[in-house]
């Protein structure tokens, strides 16, 4: 169960083989190893699949599209699919180059929607940033090659054999060698990672054949050698020796404090003046609900609760080529989290679209028609990435929220339920404990520094602006969404759970880093849906914070029970252990965490921020009559989660 493999078919009516092709027949039709019937055979379909825990079969794609690089199984079709989700890409495919050799790498080929994009040398970098949020690090292509068109074979499929193979680019004609001791030391690190000698200070890391796993390895060595903190975001912005050193030097310069994005954020909080709520009110209770972000972990549970607690049809915005594909994708996600109910099929509706596009990419008539039939909107969709700057996340998180508000106001006024984050309140500029009431306004006295949180701050400001114009709305600020208290299912992309997996590998944890507020997903999702159905809750904000913040003790107890004892280490010592492991095993999960753990003397904000305490009076009052309660974060809670984790080998790589 859960282990992918090739799908074989058997049965009494199995065909005899391929006519006039005995070699192909011998390859595809093999003796049935578990049948006692004479001559019984199995047919190798070439499809890749796995069994789910409930016994259903999950299709993973064609075997030809599955490759194994550096110990990881990679679905080439998934790389192409994620590229197609970017609005600038019209066509895409991916291949593996030099399989089975030390030079094995992935390459993607993209055709732009606008032909003029081919002249934009930064376009591949933009796409690589996009993939960094959608795919694991090991699945990000080393090269992204722009083409005017993809070569097509007579059968109508992409002719992969005709794709140009990108070579590792030789030194440019304007090659500039290192001139200073720092540049020579940085070149030495690049040489060790890339396995080549002639690297100029302005040569692009990715043009030289670097890929995302090598980036992680390089950042680890840079931080160890230079004792400086370099994020993936900074490296993607200027992946050259000169650019890397410039950023490291900027860290020690007072000019860094001159960087200020506040004016841009304040300007972006101005809601489009054409968005005015209609005087016509939607039907309550809602019969047609619109939901964004349903394909994510929390979004899937939110969708399930909307289907459980209401009788409404739920219209989900999904990036897909057609509604049938989107529905299958959503159903598969709900099945993965053990949420699917066969009776929901007729109530689940798909709206193919994109959060980053005006009117979600819908035709104006379709947008108007959708606005006319909806009765409520739940806006949960967002691009969660804590390394990217605000400018990159703005389209999905800020402009996407404005389009959700536009949809709520158009045709008839529909309640908008917005999923925000308590991090819109910053502890910077304060000391001690700062208590935040649900009714406290967010303001610009001290804005968050994280690009993702900045985007949520601006988006929530837009919702408050819409409420001031008369739109009925509510705002929900859940803390970190935790695993399911009964099934142990968790979000594999969540930083905390990646950190816990890594701590198991290192058999230790950095003291002080697990003091977070974690809200089990099976409380957060029903609580939001329950509150949203109370008319007296409109116009308010709600904090969904666990009454007992997470501490290491129950997690350590659960891990010890399962045979994984954990010891606490000072941050600096644990970081040394992390860097050592990541340097030895650059393909491991731990290597991807290195950018999140700067050297103790490289903190961007040396002044301690206030500890934030979130009051939840509105939430407790609204849930007073609810039949469910918030689960305790006991050792049993974490044991169920830990039992769901993939087995970890000595390299820290995940094995199914």
Compute the CA torsion angle 48, 52, 55, 61 (nearest 10 deg).
-20
Specify the pLDDT at position 302.
Answer: 98
Q: What is the pLDDT of residues 62-110, one digit of tens each?
A: 666 677 765 566 778 888 888 988 889 999 999 988 776 656 778 899 9
Backbone angles phi, psi at 74, to 5 degrees: -130, 130
What average pLDDT does range 321-334 have in this prediction?
89
Q: What is the pLDDT of residues 527-573, one digit of tens each?
A: 999 999 999 999 999 999 999 888 888 989 999 999 889 999 998 88
Instruction: List Cβ neighbours of 62 (8 Å cut-off, separation of 6 or more).
Output: 46, 47, 48, 77
Check if the beta carbon of residue 449 is closer than 8 Å to that of residue 605: yes
What average pLDDT does range 140-153 have in this prediction?
88
Instruction: Report CA-CA distances (Å) from 51 to 32, 330, 402, 431, 447.
Output: 20, 18, 41, 52, 47
Q: What is the pLDDT of residues 11-68, one digit of tens each?
A: 665 656 666 667 667 767 778 777 777 778 888 777 767 787 777 887 655 666 677 7
Element (H, E) at 465: helix 451-468
**Mean model confidence pLDDT for the chain:** 82
Element (H, E) at 91: strand 89-97
Three-state secondary structure readout of 155-177: CCCECHHHCCCCCCCCCCCCCCC
Compute the CA torsion angle 522, 525, 527, 528 (nearest 10 deg).
170
Specify the pLDDT at position 21.
Answer: 65
Give the pTM. Answer: 0.67
Specify the pLDDT at position 243.
Answer: 84
More confident residue, 167 or 481: 481
Check if the beta carbon of residue 355 is closer than 8 Å to that of residue 317: yes
Instruction: Report CA-CA distances (Å) from 639 to 301, 398, 526, 649.
Output: 21, 38, 23, 19
Specify the pLDDT at position 651.
Answer: 30
Specify the pLDDT at position 263.
Answer: 43
DSSP three-state, residue 67: strand
Q: Is the peptide bond before 285 cis (omega within 30 degrees of 0)?
A: yes
Specify the pLDDT at position 66.
Answer: 72
Choose among 212, 209, 172, 178: nearest CA to 194.
Answer: 209
Specify the pLDDT at position 482.
Answer: 93
Per mean pLDDT, which range of 426-430, 499-503, 551-555 is the poorest?
426-430
What average pLDDT does range 196-216 have in this prediction?
75
The answer on pLDDT for 656 being more than 50 is no
pLDDT tier at 427, thresholds 50, 70, 90: low
More confident residue, 645 or 413: 413
Specify the pLDDT at position 80.
Answer: 86
Q: Which two tokens stand for residue 536?
A: 């007296």
- Percent of the chain topping pLDDT 90: 37
Choose among 114, 479, 82, 141: nearest CA to 295.
Answer: 82
Specify the pLDDT at position 140.
Answer: 81
Q: What is the pLDDT of residues 315-327, one digit of tens each?
A: 999 988 789 888 9
pLDDT tier at 208, thresholds 50, 70, 90: confident
More confident residue, 128 or 414: 414
Question: DSSP for 206-222?
Answer: TTTT--HHHHHHHHHHH
The DSSP symbol for 490 reads: -
Q: What is the pLDDT of residues 586-633, one digit of tens each?
A: 656 776 777 677 766 544 444 556 678 899 999 999 999 999 999 999
């Amino acid at each position: 169960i859960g282990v992918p493999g090739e799908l074989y078919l058997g049965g009494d009516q199995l065909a005899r083989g391929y006519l006039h092709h005995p070699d192909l027949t011998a390859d595809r039709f093999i003796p049935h190893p578990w049948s006692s019937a004479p001559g019984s055979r199995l047919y190798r379909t070439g499809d890749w699949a796995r069994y789910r825990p409930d016994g259903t079969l999950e299709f993973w794609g064609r075997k030809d599209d599955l490759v194994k690089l550096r110990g990881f199984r990679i679905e080439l079709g998934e790389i192409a699919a994620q590229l197609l989700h970017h609005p600038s890409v019209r066509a895409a495919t991916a291949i593996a180059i030099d399989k089975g050799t030390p030079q094995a790498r992935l390459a993607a080929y993209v055709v732009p929607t606008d032909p003029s994009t081919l002249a934009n040398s930064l376009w591949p970098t933009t796409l690589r940033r996009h993939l960094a949020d959608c795919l694991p690090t090991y699945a990000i292509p080393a090269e992204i090659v722009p083409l005017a068109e993809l070569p097509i074979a007579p059968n109508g499929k992409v002719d992969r054999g005709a794709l140009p193979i990108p070579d590792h680019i030789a030194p440019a004609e304007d090659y500039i060698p290192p001139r200073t001791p720092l540049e020579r030391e940085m070149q030495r690190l690049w040489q060790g990672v890339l396995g080549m000698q002639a690297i100029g200070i302005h040569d692009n890391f990715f043009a030289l054949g670097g890929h995302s796993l090598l980036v992680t390895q390089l950042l680890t060595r840079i931080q160890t050698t230079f004792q400086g903190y370099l994020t993936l975001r900074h490296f993607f912005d200027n992946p050259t020796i000169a650019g890397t050193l410039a950023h490291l030097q900027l860290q020690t310069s007072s000019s860094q404090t001159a960087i200020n994005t506040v004016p841009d954020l304040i300007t972006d909080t101005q809601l489009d003046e054409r968005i005015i709520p209609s005087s016509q009110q939607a039907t309550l209770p809602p019969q047609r609900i619109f939901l964004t972000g349903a394909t994510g972990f929390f979004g899937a549970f939110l969708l399930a609760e909307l289907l459980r607690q209401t009788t409404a049809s739920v219209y989900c915005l999904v990036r897909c080529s057609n509604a049938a594909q989107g529905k299958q994708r959503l159903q598969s996600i709900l099945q993965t989290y053990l949420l699917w109910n066969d009776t929901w099929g007729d109530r689940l509706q798909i709206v193919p679209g994109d959060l980053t596009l005006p009117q979600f990419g819908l035709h104006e008539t379709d947008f108007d028609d959708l606005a006319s039939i909806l009765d409520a909107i739940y806006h949960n969709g967002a691009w969660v990435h804590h390394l990217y700057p605000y400018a990159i996340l703005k389209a999905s998180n800020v402009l996407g929220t404005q389009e959700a508000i536009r949809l709520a106001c158009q045709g008839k006024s529909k309640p908008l339920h917005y999923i925000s984050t308590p991090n819109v309140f910053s502890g910077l500029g304060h000391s001690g404990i700062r208590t935040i009431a649900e009714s406290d306004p967010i303001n610009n006295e001290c804005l968050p520094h994280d690009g993702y949180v900045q985007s949520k701050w601006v988006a929530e400001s837009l919702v408050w602006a819409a409420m001031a114009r008369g739109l009925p709305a509510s705002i929900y600020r859940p803390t970190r969404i935790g695993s399911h208290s009964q099934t142990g299912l968790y979000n594999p992309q969540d930083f905390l759970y990646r950190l816990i997996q890594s701590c198991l590998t290192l058999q230790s944890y950095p003291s002080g880093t697990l003091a977070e507020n974690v809200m089990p997903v099976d409380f957060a999702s029903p609580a939001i849906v329950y509150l949203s159905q109370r008319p007296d809750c409109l116009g308010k904000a709600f904090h969904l914070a666990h009454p007992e913040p997470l501490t290491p003790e129950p997690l350590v107890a659960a891990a010890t029970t399962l045979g994984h004892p954990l010891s606490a280490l000072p941050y600096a010592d644990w970081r040394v252990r992390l860097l050592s492991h990541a340097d030895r095993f650059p393909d491991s999960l731990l290597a991807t965490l290195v950018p999140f753990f700067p050297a103790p003397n490289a903190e961007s904000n040396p002044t301690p921020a206030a500890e934030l305490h979130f009051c939840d009076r509105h939430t407790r009052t609204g849930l007073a009559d609810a039949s469910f309660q918030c689960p305790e974060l006991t050792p049993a809670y974490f044991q169920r989660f830990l039992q769901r984790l993939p087995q970890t080998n000595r390299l820290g790589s995940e094995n199914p």
